[in-house]
């Protein structure tokens, strides 16, 4: 692991702990050259999960891509990193249980369901991009569903 401060590859692990209900290992590291301390997180990768996109192409599942989209939807909302991590962990468990391929539509719908429970504004933001609302009427219709 390269030091984020001086970029040297000589770092050592000072402390390791389980995090996120044992699904992640938190490691405290120290650079042997400059002494800078930093934290890394290690989690199992969903390496076997392949996403089938709307255009019919396939790509490997990318947790970071999903997290970035969630943070855009949750921008300036009272949502914590822990809430996002927990939501993504639950969704990944659901998707990875018995499938190797998953459609982007399934991912999008599951994310919208989870966001609806977490934060209504984030849900509407995500839905407006994911569903590509064509006009205000489509947006009103989705907002009406949420208000019921």
User: What are the sequence ranges of the domains in the chain?
Assistant: 1-43, 47-147
Mean pLDDT of the chain: 90
> Residue 28: pLDDT above 70?
yes
Pick the residue with more confidence: 58 or 100? 58
Q: What is the torsion angle, in degrees rounded to the nearest 10, for the CA atoms of residue 75, residue 109, residue 141 and residue 122?
A: -10
State pTM to two decimals: 0.72
Give the pLDDT band (50/70/90) at residue 59: very high
pLDDT of 111-142, one tens digit each? 999 999 999 999 989 988 888 777 788 888 87
> Residue 22: pLDDT above 90?
no
Token reading at 25: 């290992």
């Amino acid at each position: 692991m390269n030091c984020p401060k001086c970029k040297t590859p000589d770092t050592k692990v000072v402390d390791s702990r389980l995090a996120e209900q044992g699904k992640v290992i938190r490691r405290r590291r120290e650079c042997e050259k400059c002494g800078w301390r930093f934290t890394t997180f290690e989690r199992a990768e969903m390496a076997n999960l392949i996403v089938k996109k709307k255009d019919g192409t396939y790509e490997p599942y990318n947790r970071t891509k999903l997290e970035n989209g969630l943070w855009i939807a949750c921008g300036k909302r009272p949502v914590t990193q822990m809430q996002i991590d927990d939501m993504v962990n639950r969704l990944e468990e659901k998707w990875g249980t018995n499938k190797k391929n998953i459609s982007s539509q399934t991912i999008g719908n599951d994310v919208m369901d989870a966001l609806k429970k977490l934060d209504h504004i984030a849900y509407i933001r995500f839905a407006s991009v994911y569903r590509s609302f064509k006009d205000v009427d489509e947006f009103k219709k989705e907002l009406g569903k949420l208000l019921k």
